[in-house]
Amino acid sequence: MAARVYVTRPVFDQAVEGLKRAAQVAINSEERVLSKNELISHLREADGALTLLTDIIDRQVLEACPRLKAVANFAVGFNNVDIEAATQLGVIVTNTPGVLTETTADFAWTLLMAAARRVVEADTFARAGKFKAWGPKMFLGYDIYAKTLGLIGLGRIGQAVARRASGFNMKVLSYDAEPIPERVVEELHVTRVSLDELLRTSDFISLHVPLLAETRHLLNDRTFAMMKPTCVVVNTSRGPVVDEKALVRALKSGKIAAAGLDVFEREPEIEPELFDLNSVVIAPHIASASHETRLKMCMMAAENLLAVLKGNRPPNFVNPEVWDRRRV
C-alpha cells in the first residue's frame, strides 16, 4: 500500500509530481495556515508531511498522529516543530539548509541599501506626484562604502553577507556565540569582537542568528541604546530576535537611524507603530523568494520526505538520532 503524504500549503508542481510517483498525496489547496485541529485531522492518517514554518507541529499534534514518520520542513529554520517531542516519538524531521544562503544574503543587502538610502520613502514620494524639483537636501541617506558592517551570527548566510561587503570596501566585524573556523575568518577579512563592541562601533548591523532562548530579544532597549545614532539595523533571521516595541522606541527617539525588516516578532502580525515610521523598510518574509531558490527548497523538502518513506537516510536531518535509533 502506497504511503500517504500531506502537503500543508500549495507548493511547486514539480515537487508534488515527484511525491505522487511514490505516495498518495493530499494538499491543502488554500493559501492559509491550517488550525491545529485541521492539521491533526489531515496528518492523523499520513505517513509523511511537507510543512512550512507557519505550521506549528507541537507535541499535541505529533501525539495525535502516531502514523506520522517524517516531517519535511520547507525551510532552513525548524522552530515551528517540537524537535524534542518528535525525537522521543520517533518522527524524523528534516529541513532545507544551504540552498537559500546566497539569495537571503542578497536580500539582506537589499534591505540594508534601501533603508540607508531611503528608497521606499522616496519611491512613495515620487509616485504621489510630489517630486517637483531636485533639491540638495532631499531624502538624504547614509553612505555604505567604506563604513563598518557588524554581523551578529557568522554562519552560512552571515558569511555570504560578509563576502559581499568586500565590494563596498567595508570593515566587517562579527560576533558569534559559536566557534567559527579561523580559516573562514581570515578568508573573509572579518574581525571578531564582543557583542558590545560590535553594537557600539558598527554603522550597519545585520542579524543572522537562529531563534534560541538566548537570542530572543537580543536587540532590546539596552542594546539599541549602545548603537550609533546613524546605525541601520537589518533582520533577515527570525523576528523575535528583535524586540519590536524597543525598536520603535529606538527609531522614534533617534537612538538609531533606520531598519530593514523581513521577519517579525509575532509574524504575520507586525507591530502597528512600525507602519507609521518612514525610517523602516518592511518586507513580508521574502528573503528567499526568488524563483530559483524557492523551487530548490521545495524539491529538497520533497526529496527528504521521499527518502524517509522509501526507508533511506534523508539528505538533511534535524534529528539524526531518530534514524540512528532505528538502525540499531
Active site residues: 238, 267, 285
End-to-end CA distance of the chain: 26
Taking the C-alpha atoms of residue 281 and residue 233, their distance in angstroms, rounded to an integer, is 10
**Torsion angle of alpha carbons 113, 119, 115, 186, nearest 10°?**
0
**Torsion angle of alpha carbons 287, 291, 294, 298, nearest 10°?**
170
Residue among 262, 292, 288 at smallest CA distance from 75: 288
Task: Quickly tell me which residue has 537636501 as its cell.
Answer: 137
- The set of residues, in sequence order, having a beta carbon less than 8 Å from that of 270 and lying 6+ positions away, is 244, 264, 282
Question: What is the helix (H) or strand (E) element at residue 308, kind and residue range?
Answer: helix 291-309
Q: What is the CA radius of gyration of the chain?
A: 22
- The set of residues, in sequence order, having a beta carbon less than 8 Å from that of 278 and lying 6+ positions away, is 118, 121
The DSSP code sequence of 86-102 is HHHTT-EEE---STTHH
For residue 153, CA distances in Å to 162, 194, 211, 227 come to 11, 12, 11, 17
* 121 contacts 144 by C-beta, under 8 angstroms: no
Taking the C-alpha atoms of residue 138 and residue 310, their distance in angstroms, rounded to an integer, is 61
Task: Quickly tell me which residue has 529538497 as its cell.
Answer: 300
Residue among 18, 90, 85 at smallest CA distance from 50: 18
